[in-house]
Amino acid sequence: MQKKLHIKKGDNVFVNAGEYKGKKGRVLEVIKEKNRAIVEGINMIKKHTKPNSKNPNGGIIEKEAAIHVSNLNVVDPSTGTPCRLGRKTGENGKLVRYSKKSGEEIK
């Protein structure tokens, strides 16, 4: 059984470790099987590509690589600072994520 991750696609996150420490970005994709996420503008790599229909000349493309979720913290929407998350049941009985710092719900 897969463990639930604290981040979701579309979240604003803060990088708390590694080469890009201190930067913020938006999560483009979450890879649950590997506990990794792709964050916009973070962990950029250069990929050498052959010519194809999308890129007729081929060449070197810069794109985001995956980063481990343990190096990411969700940004609190009210304060704009990184925070830890908790889960609690909302008014309709579903689990909702909330900021442990401000107590505000995170959509």
Domains and their CATH numbers in the chain: 12-76 (2.30.30.30)
Please answer whether residues 27 and 13 qualify as being in contact, where contact means their C-beta atoms are separated by less than 8 angstroms.
yes
pLDDT for residue 102: 87
Give mean pLDDT, residues 7-27. Answer: 95
- pTM for the structure as a whole: 0.83
> How many Cβ atoms from other residues are within 10 Å of residue 31's Cβ?
12
Kindly indicate the confidence band of residue 32, based on its pLDDT and cuts at 50, 70 and 90: very high
Over residues 47-100, the pLDDT tens digits come to 999 999 988 999 999 999 999 999 999 999 888 999 999 999 988 889 899 999
Q: Helix, strand or coil for residue 33? A: helix
